[in-house]
Amino acid sequence: MDKEDLQKAYLDLENESFPSGKRIKFVANLGSSQEIAYHYELICKDWNEGRNLHLEGSFDKHGRDGLEFYLNSWMKLKMKNKVY
């Protein structure tokens, strides 16, 4: 799925209050996609909103690219919050 398809699927899930079966399928599709940044964005949104949708459950499917993206994002955040 591309980002546009994932965004539509997420909005549909949100409108349906994230039913378990559809959410599990979406999480699998998200992890299988090439949309690492969007996946990370949704994980952060989920955590910030306290929804506990477990979107992080398939992030490891992105492999090395996902790990590099995560580490780069973490380092940017750490540098942004660094006090001089």
pLDDT band with cut points at 50, 70 and 90 for residue 84: low
Q: Would the pLDDT of 83 be above 80?
A: no
pLDDT tens figures, 32-81:
999 999 999 999 999 999 999 999 999 999 999 999 999 999 898 888 87
Tokens of residue 47, six digits: 């955590």
- Count: domains in the chain: 1
Q: What does the H/E/C string look like for 22-40?
A: HHHHHHHHHHHCCCHHHHH
Q: Tell me what pLDDT residue 79 has.
A: 83
Q: Is 14 in contact with 46 (CB distance < 8 Å)? A: no
Q: Compute the distance between CA of residue 57 and CA of residue 35 in angstroms, rounded to an integer.
A: 15
CB under 8 Å to 53, separation ≥6 — which residues?
A: 18, 23, 27, 46
Parent domain of 15: 3-81
